[in-house]
A and B are shown apart, each in its own frame.
Chain A
Amino acid sequence: MKEQTVLIGIDGATFSILDPLMDEGVMPFLRQFIASGVRAELLSVVPPITPPAWTSLMTGRSPGHHGVFDFFLKESPDSHNIRFASSHDVGCETIWSIVSRRGMRVTSLNFPLMFPPPRINGNVVAGGWVPWRQLRLGCHPPDLYDRLKALPGFNARELAMDAAHEEKAVEGCQPEEYEDWIEQHIRREQQWFDILRYLMREDPCELTALLFDGVDKIQHLCWRFLDPAYRYLNERPSPWEQRIRDLSLQYFRQLDQLLADIADLTNPDATIIMASDHGFGAQTETFFVNTWLEQNGYLAWANEASPRETDSTKLGMSQLARHVYLLDWERTMAYAPTPSSNGIHIVTAGHGSGKGVSPADYGRFRAELIESLRQVTSPTTGEPVVSHIWTREEAFDGPRMELAPDLTLALWDGGLVSILASDDAVKPRPEPSGTHRPEGVFMAAGPGVRQGVSLPHLSIMDVAPMVLHSLGLAIPGDMEGCVPTGAFEPPWLQARPVRATAPAKPSEPAAPQATVEIVYTEEEEAELAARLRALGYIE
């Protein structure tokens, strides 16, 4: 194998946490790695959340082109229904596919939007929201799951997604649940490493990639135990607080050891790239955006007497897709269907159910809504709650923007909105939690890479071309990211210039046309109607 590149994703990693941990000796390998290579802030996409950001990293394209804006997508531009985004929704070719198509082998582990897994030349274990019960279906080739199942310590329940468990990262949990929750993520990262080690030994590939996603989860729940700005405020932590802080640090200590172990498994002349999908910071308030829309006449609940959420920390992850029947579509003009993307959808007249905004009035309505949102102020600071608003064209310009939200909000504290009904539109949180920031991390070391250099910020879309270039491959002409040439020693780059090639292949369409044909008897139709009626699907 002539070339080898290892790409390590660290979901949510930020230098505001990593730097203090390196200084304190918690992450000695990472400190040494950065000294032997380059580092830079890596600017994420809008919104800076896992699905669009990792998809941009994997494709070198912006969300308006690859078509992933959230964990969920509207069923169609005119529909209020949402569905999980899958690999079928990724509209641009990924680096896994490009590298595979050029005759090299690839291992890709735990990256989101990879379910169902692409049939590349190599190995895929899909990440993201793939439950353990379906993990077998997330593996490529088909026999991979059985091989992994035979590894010592393999535990699908802990390796894959448990939505109820993961939800605690953003919705919080009881104090007595913290320890188990952190320890499970420690075991989970170890399992992903064990799989990586097995595949690197048994089936070495030119491109090997693994995403550690526990950093994001730990930082969401345990931010106040990690961020120096908070942890040093508490000079006399309780025994429980000290235990949680120690356990959080143990997670990072173990992560550092796993990174070192991966480097040991890698050829000495390989390129190692580490990147995160976004950064992190504190969220101190919750903006109940649908409540605000209701208070300002843009949204109506079907049952206005239904109970209101009193917990200021609840965002509504467990209430997803209920807007379809919780809202009064005759009176709703705008709504936020998910708490994960800070997106507001405008209901347009003549489409779907309800009255909505007429196409002729859309521009005026949207401008009025933007102006109103800018007036929302924090009850604690008196400052605007919404720090930036992107229209769909500004954030998602491209051939796939029609499924994107009409407006995307950035909140002053970087927080995620709540979609729940509440009495107040803005509430302080009792304790700060972790939430996303656009500034992620990029670190790289390897042949030709400068040593001990801190670069100006890069775009997350620059990672895909960097990976391709490190493997000696040309960069597809339609990639929006660029090879960060400042990362390389000039003589090395001169000997190995960046080459461009034809645009990447478009991804497979969402699904081909129907390949089967069904013929009904009258009896079958009648029986079918009765069953679907019982399910509530027809009336």
Chain B
Amino acid sequence: MKKTREEVMADVLDLFHQLADDWEYSGEITPKTLLFTDIGLRSLDVVVLAVSIQEHYGQVLPFADLFAAMGQHGVQDISMGEWVDFVYEHLTLGNQGLGNQGIRELIS
């Protein structure tokens, strides 16, 4: 089954919409919504959501690499669109994940 970026976005938005009522978050969730600033998630929330997304797609995704890179570069937040991009990117490559070199090769 082929998945487009839009379909991955729809999947991830669906997951967030399922949970938004529990969070009592009434704002609209769009690709520009920031997970920490706008929704108020904490680091552990994002880590656990990552596990759920892997469960949904039945595939290990290298979120640990992403979180490490964000920490190293002092990136304080991530938007829904960026989150989806990361998932979309790695769903192509099976269980191995990309790593920095792999991503450079893919996009070169």
Known: A325-B72, A531-B82, A535-B78. A75 touches B51 (CB 8 A): no
Please, which residues of chain A bring their CB within 8 A of the CB of B107?
525-526, 528-529, 538
- Contact A515/B59 with A84-B48, A525-B107 known, Cβ cut-off 8 Å: yes
Q: How far is the CB of A335 from chain B (nearest CB, A)?
A: 14
Give Cα A310 to B42, complex, Å. Answer: 26
Pairwise interchain contact A82-B64, C-beta atoms closer than 8 A: yes
User: Is B22 interfacial (CB 8 A cutoff)?
Assistant: yes
Contact of B2 among A145, A163, A519 (CB under 8 A): A519
**B71-A532 in contact (CB<8A):** no
CB pair B59 A534 closer than 8 Å: no
Contacts of A115 in B (CB 8 A): 48, 51
Indicate whether B34 reaches chain A with its CB closer than 8 angstroms: no
Hey, what's the 0/1 contact readout for B1-36 against A, CB within 8 Å counting as 1? 111110010000000001100110000000000000
Partner of A511, one of B60, B70, B103: B60
Report the Cα distance A116→B58, complex, angstroms: 12
- A324, CB-defined interface residue at 8 Å: yes
Asked if A514 lies at the interface with its beta carbon under 8 angstroms from chain B, I say yes
Minimum CB distance partner of A166 in chain B: B44
Given the known interface contacts A136-B22, A518-B88, A518-B91, the answer about A164 and B72 at a Cβ–Cβ threshold of 8 Å is no
Instruction: Type the 1/0 row for A490-512, where 1 means its CB is closer than 8 Å to any CB of B.
Output: 00000000000000000000111
Residue numbers in B under 8 Å from A83 (CB-CB): 47, 63-64
Chain B residue, CB-CB nearest to A75: B64
Specify the chain A residue showing the minimal Cβ separation from B81: A531
> Which residues of chain B have C-beta atoms less than 8 A from A116's C-beta?
51-52, 55
Q: With contacts A515-B1, A516-B57 known, is A535 near B72, CB below 8 A?
A: no
Verify A86–B51 contact, CB threshold 8 A: yes
Indicate the size class of the contact surface on chain A: 35 or more
Against B, the Cβ 8 Å flags (1 = close, 0 = not) of A46-60 are: 000000000000000
Return chain A residues, CB-CB under 8 Å to B47. 83-84
Q: Shortest beta-carbon distance, B68 to chain A, in Å? A: 4
Is A537 in contact with B100, judged by CB distance below 8 angstroms? yes
Most chain B CB within 10 A, of A130, A515, A538, is at A538
With A and B bound together, what is the CA distance between A497 and B88 in angstroms? 54
Task: Count A-B contacts at CB 8 Å.
Answer: 162
A83, chain B: closest CB distance, angstroms: 4
Per the bound structure, the CA–CA distance linking A539 and B100 in Å amounts to: 8
B interface footprint on A271-311 (CB within 8 Å = 1, 0 otherwise):
00000000000000000000000000000000000000000
B94 adjacent to A515 (CB under 8 Å): no
CB-nearest residue of chain B to A515: B58
CB distance from A111 to the nearest CB of B (A): 16
Partner of B62, one of A75, A513, A515, A539: A75
Q: Is the CB of B68 within 8 A of A321?
A: yes
Nearest chain B residue, comparing its CB with the CB of A86 = B51
Closest beta carbon of chain A to B3's beta carbon, Å:
4
Q: Are A536 and B48 in contact (CB under 8 A)?
A: no
| Cα separation A81 to B45 with both chains bound (whole Å) | 18
Distance, CA A131 to CA B45, complexed state (A): 6
> In the complex, A135→B21 CA distance in Å?
12
Q: Cβ of A201 < 8 Å from any Cβ of B? A: no
Select one of A514, A537, A539 contacting B57, CB under 8 A: A514
Pick the residue among B48, B73, B85 that contacts A528 (CB under 8 A): B85
* Bound form: Cα–Cα A322–B71 in Å: 7
**Contacts A134-B49, A531-B81, A535-B70 known; A518 to B63 CB distance under 8 Å?**
no
Q: How far is the CA of A534 from the CA of B72 in the complex (A)?
A: 12
Chain A, range 59-86, C-beta contacts under 8 Å to B: 75, 79, 81-84, 86
A129 at the interface (CB under 8 A from B): yes
Whether A531 touches B103, Cβ cut-off 8 Å, given contacts A75-B62, A511-B95, is no
Q: Which residues of B have CB within 8 Å of A514? A: 57-59, 91-95
> Does B38 belong to the interface (CB within 8 Å)?
no
Cβ-neighbour of B59 out of A513, A525, A531 (below 8 A): A513
Q: Are B18 and A136 in contact (CB under 8 A)?
A: yes
In the complex, A83→B62 CA distance in Å?
9
> With A82-B64, A513-B59 in contact, do A518 and B44 touch (Cβ < 8 Å)?
no
Which of A130, A510, A528 has the most C-beta atoms of chain B within 10 angstroms of its own C-beta?
A: A528
Report how far A321 CA is from B3 CA in the complex, Å.
32
Given contacts A83-B64, A532-B103, contact A133 B85 (CB under 8 A): no
A134, B15: Cα distance in complex, Å: 10
When each residue 118-159 of chain A gets 1 if its CB lies under 8 Å from chain B and 0 otherwise, what string results? 000000000001111111110000000100000000001000
4 extra interface residue pairs, beta carbon distance < 8 Å, beyond A321-B71, A515-B59, A537-B103: A517-B1, A518-B8, A518-B92, A535-B82
Could you show 17 A-B contacts with beta carbons less than 8 Å apart?
A: A75-B65, A83-B63, A83-B64, A134-B52, A137-B48, A164-B42, A510-B60, A515-B57, A517-B92, A518-B2, A518-B92, A525-B106, A535-B70, A535-B73, A537-B86, A538-B104, A539-B100
A-B residue pairs, 6 tightest by C-beta? A536-B73, A325-B72, A81-B64, A529-B107, A83-B64, A516-B3
